[in-house]
């Protein structure tokens, strides 16, 4: 896992460095801000995961919550498995 993090980190650094060389025009001014896409990717990913964890507190239920009305607690996942 650590090795993957180093490789990804190096890749991110390279891509961030390449940000200097991109042409800055777009439909919106915000697109031209330096490193905006890097920041947006990282921050929104973390935000999604933490928001989902918060949501889980609210909606998490055991598999047999809906009883025999749903397939979630069924042993056989698929007939032909």
Partner 1 sequence: MPDIVTPALIYILGALIALSIRNHMTRGIVLLATPIAALATFVTLPYANYGSFPLFDLHLGFLRIDALSYVFALVFSLAAFLSLLYAWHIRDRLEQISTLLYAGAAIGAVFAADLVTLFIFWEGTALASVFLVWARRTEGSYHTGLRYLAIQIGSGLLLLAGVVLHYQDTGSIAFGYMELDSLATWLILLAFGIKCAFPLLNNWLQDAYPAATLTGTVTLSAFTTKLAVYALARAFAGTEYLIYIGAAMAVLPVFHATIENNLRRTLAYSLNSQLGFMVVGIGIGTPLAIDGAVAHAAASTVYQALLFMGVGAVLYRTGSDKASELGGLFRSMPLTFAFCVVGAFSISSFPFFSGFISKSLILSASGDTGHVLVWAALIFASVGVLAHTGLRIPYVMFFGRDRGLKAEEAPRHMLIAMGIAAALCLVIGIWPAPFYALLPYPVAYQPYSFGHILTQLQLLAFASFAFALLVRFKLYPADLRSINLDVDWLYRRFLPSLIGLIGQEARYAWHGLTRAGAYRLKRALVLIYRMHGPQGALARTWPTGSMVLWIAVLLGITLCLAYL
Task: Provide, rounded to whole angstroms, the least separation between the CB of residue 76 and partner 1.
Answer: 7
Footprint on this chain of partner 1 (rule: CB under 8 A) = 1-2, 4-5, 8-9, 11-12, 15-16, 18-19, 21-23, 26-28, 30-31, 35, 37-42, 44-46, 48-49, 51-53, 55-56, 58-63, 65-66, 68-74, 76-81
Task: Provide, rounded to whole angstroms, the least separation between the CB of residue 71 and partner 1.
Answer: 4
Please, are residues 22 and 34 in contact by the beta-carbon 8 Å criterion?
Answer: no
Helix (H, G, I), strand (E, B) or coil at 70: coil
Task: Provide, rounded to whole angstroms, the least separation between the CB of residue 59 and partner 1.
Answer: 4
Evaluate the CA torsion angle 67, 72, 78, 81 in order and state its sign: negative
Cα separations in angstroms, 72 against 16, 31, 49, 56:
44, 44, 24, 17
């Amino acid at each position: 896992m650590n090795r993957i993090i180093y490789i990804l980190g190096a890749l991110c650094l390279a891509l961030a460095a390449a940000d200097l060389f991109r042409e800055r025009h777009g439909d919106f001014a915000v697109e031209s801000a330096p490193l905006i896409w890097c920041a947006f990717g990282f921050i929104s990913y973390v935000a999604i995961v933490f928001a989902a964890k918060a949501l889980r507190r609210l909606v998490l239920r055991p598999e047999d919550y809906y009883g025999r009305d749903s397939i979630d607690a069924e042993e056989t996942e698929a007939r032909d498995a």
